[in-house]
Chain A
Amino acid sequence: MLRSVGLAVLRLLVIMLLASMIGAVLIRVAPGFSSDEQQLNSSLSAQSIQAIKQARLTNSDLPRYYANYLAALLRGDLGISQSLNQPVRDLLRERIPVTMRSLVLALALAWLIGLALAVAAQLTRSRLLTFLTDGVSSTFISTPAVVLALVFVLLRLPPQLAATLLVFPKIYRYSQNLLQQSYQLPHVLTARAKGAGAWRVLAWHVAPMAAPQMLALVGVSVSIALGVLLPIEVICDVPGIGQLAWQAAQSRDLPLLVNLTLVVTFVTVCATMLSDSARRSFTRSAA
């Protein structure tokens, strides 16, 4: 047990390290890294512009920057944001809870709706229900996050809930297909032929077959939800990490972006590791 927890933590740290390094490289080589919009300020003298450019190049030596960053990270120092001139730690401390709250709520509701609709479609075998649900999920999966978020603002609803409507179609689609596939397995057909009730068939025969992939989907859905939530935060100016990430990307703020990558990696990997673990436990107990 301790060994597997240790391995899991090691895996998490390695992935976080790799992700932040690769992210730092991508940010560094992206055009505009050494640019500052103040360079276009015609009121600044040549010396000031030169100084601004030099300041931008402070972190250009990536290996050195990264080594210093890691050393500081061990002391709990996440660096200073270049674009906001504030400690990254303070910025993240304020913003992460906002995003996490929205994420948990959006995901919980999305799973509730997506799974419930998929199950209902299979249990009822209603073509009308399937047709309507397919239509609704097609509608929301085709609607840009930004547009839906703006509609929510128009209707004076919390825009973060738009993430629920954007994530549930994916959960619905995967779940629907998984359940459909599982319902066609020979042992399920046999159980139904032998008169097993619909709920019993679902709980005892279908769910165990679909569970491993469903559990994998749980982990992945965190990443999907985060990917949907961040642009909503940007557009609707919700003070979460999405808004921070956008501002950092616009100004190529390396310290902030590297730390944000760490946060996203941490959340993603924890979610996938937990779902992998749940899947393995389930498979072992089913066996």
Chain B
Amino acid sequence: MKALRWGATALLILAALAAIGAHYVAPAGYEHQFRESPGVSPSAQHPLGTDDLGRDRFARLIYGLRVSLILAPLAAALTTLMAALIGGIAGYCGGWVEGCALVIMDLFLSIPWLFLLITVRAMLPLNISPESSVFITFLLLGVLGWAASARIICAGTRDLLKSEFVWLARASGFSGFKLLRLHLLPNLRGTLLAQFWISIPVFIIAEANLGAMGLGVAEPLPSLGSLLRELQNVVTLRPEPWRFMPLLVLIMVVSCFQTLLNKNEVRT
């Protein structure tokens, strides 16, 4: 297991370095259109071939990693933090506070937030940079995605309040936010880590789906999500397995995060 964790760390560092040093790793650049060779198979010049506009797929994957590897975990962290705070406070306070919080959580799970995303996008200037637009998209996803996990955190907090170590902590003078931070939330680590891990690919894919409505990353900047959208062309995909590379990379990144987050295995 240690070896696996080392391997996962190494892979993530490699991916991060490749993304940071994209200019050197993929000198072709993500936006240059090699118009004489659109949709070509992998070659020495284009390790993963080119896309419909002749842009180097390898370069777009590396630059896409940069966008997704930074923003998706950030959005996931934001949503996990919000779930922890709101769910934790609701569970801790109980009573009408918990009741109101649960109502808000149910509302967040039911409301068609797509229209909020459309409205926010419409309020932004049309010439907003692709980087800013994708940052705002991920920010909104992070702010809107906490409700499901918050419910579980709330239930867990209510339960933990009855445990002996919490009574002991209270007897020792811990209360309020300190109790939540030092005793309750650490014992909900499993749920919080699960939420964090799940959110990363969910947000990357959500950004891809929002791209179909113009709410994702703007041309020519790629993201893992926008590259995944190409997989929807299933009829033309079959003889071109290299187009699955973004999916494989995402699976690798997600698996690495999962391995690193699973620190505390019980051994026989």
Point out residues on A near B: beta carbons under 8 Å.
11, 14-15, 18-19, 22-23, 26-27, 29-32, 122, 125, 127, 130-131, 134-135, 137-139, 141-147, 150-151, 153-154, 169-170, 173-174, 176-178, 180-181, 183-184, 209, 212-213, 215-217, 219-220, 223-224, 231, 235, 245, 249, 257, 260-261, 264-265, 268-269, 272, 276, 279, 283, 287
Q: Is B198 an interface residue (CB 8 A)?
A: yes
Which of A30, A145, A215, A231 is the one whose CB lies under 8 Å from B115?
A: A30
* A139, B111: Cα distance in complex, Å: 29
Taking A142-B254, A231-B209, A279-B155 as contacts, is the C-beta distance between A268 and B109 under 8 angstroms? yes
Q: Is B228 an interface residue (CB 8 A)?
A: yes
* A131, B154: Cα distance in complex, Å: 30
Which of B113, B228, B255 is the one whose CB lies under 8 Å from A147?
A: B228
* A265, B208: Cα distance in complex, Å: 25
Main secondary structure of the interface of A (DSSP, over half): helix
* A181, B160: Cα distance in complex, Å: 12
The reply to whether B265 and A142 form a contact with Cβ atoms under 8 Å apart is no
The reply to whether B251 and A11 form a contact with Cβ atoms under 8 Å apart is no
Q: Is B193 an interface residue (CB 8 A)?
A: yes
Point out residues on B near A: beta carbons under 8 Å.
1, 4, 102-103, 105-107, 109-116, 118-119, 122, 148-149, 151-152, 154-156, 158-159, 162, 187, 189-191, 193-194, 197-198, 201-202, 204-205, 208-209, 228-229, 231-232, 234, 247, 250-251, 254-255, 258-259, 262, 264-268
Apart from A177-B191, A287-B162, what are 18 other A-B pairs with CB-CB below 8 Å? Answer: A15-B110, A18-B103, A26-B112, A26-B113, A29-B119, A30-B118, A32-B118, A131-B4, A134-B258, A141-B198, A141-B201, A141-B202, A142-B204, A173-B258, A213-B159, A219-B151, A223-B148, A283-B158
